[in-house]
Amino acid sequence: MLVLSVTLVLDAGAALAAGDASSASASPISPAKQQAEIAGAKMAVRRVDAVKKLQDIGPCFTNRTAGEFALMMRSMAGDSAMPGDDFTKRFNAILARYGISDSSSHKSREATLKLHGRSLFADVARLVTSLQSERGDSRLTGTPPSPSDRNYRVVSKTQVNMTDRADPTKAMCACLEDGVWRIDIGDMG
C-alpha cells in the first residue's frame, strides 16, 4: 500500500527564520498593507488545508517548492510503488522531459525548478496517483498547517514569513508568485 504523507514544516535551520507579526518590522510597508499581505499568506495556508487530492496541491506552492516535492516523491513512492524498476523508469522519463537527470548540475536543476516546478509536480503527481489507483489507495495524508497556528511577519510586499506558534523552529513563508500567494518551504535539498 502506498501512502503519501505531506508535511509542511521544516527545521528552521533548513528553512526560513520568521518572527511574530506583532513585532516591530524594518519594512517600509504601511500597517494596513502589512495586514493585506498577512491575509494573502493566510489564504495560501487555507488553500493547502482544502486540498483533498495530491494533484491539486501543486498550485499551492511556489515553483521551487513544488519541484522539490516532486523530486522527493521518487524516494517516497519508489520503494513500495511498483515491483521492479517500472516506477523509476517512468519517473526518470518525466524528469528527462524537463532536462533533469542525476548528472544535472545543482544550478541547472534549481533553474528548472524555479521555472517549471509546478508543472513537474503535476506530472509526477499524475504518475503517483495512477500508481495509487492501481494499488487501490489514493489517500493524501498529513496534517496541513492552520492559519491560526502561525505567527506572521511581513518581510516585503511579496513575502510573509510564518512560524508555528507551538514550535518556532518550524518555519515557512508565503510568496507572491505569478500574482498568487503560494507557500515556499525554503531549501529542502
Predicted local confidence at residue 88, as pLDDT: 82
Predicted local confidence at residue 141, as pLDDT: 61
Predicted local confidence at residue 65, as pLDDT: 94
Give, in degrees to the nearest 5, the angle at Cα 115 between 155 and 87.
120
Provide the 3-class DSSP secondary structure of residue 183: strand
Predicted local confidence at residue 87, as pLDDT: 80
Residue pLDDT tens, the chain, 189 long: 333 334 443 333 333 333 333 333 445 788 888 999 999 999 999 998 888 888 899 999 999 999 999 998 877 655 554 545 578 888 889 999 999 987 888 898 889 999 999 999 999 999 888 877 776 665 556 666 678 889 999 999 999 999 989 988 888 899 999 999 999 987 654
| 105 Cβ neighbours under 8 A, 6+ residues apart | none
| 152 Cβ neighbours under 8 A, 6+ residues apart | 18, 20, 21, 38, 41, 42, 160, 161, 162
DSSP 85: T
pTM equals 0.76
Predicted local confidence at residue 119, as pLDDT: 96
Cell of 137: 489507495
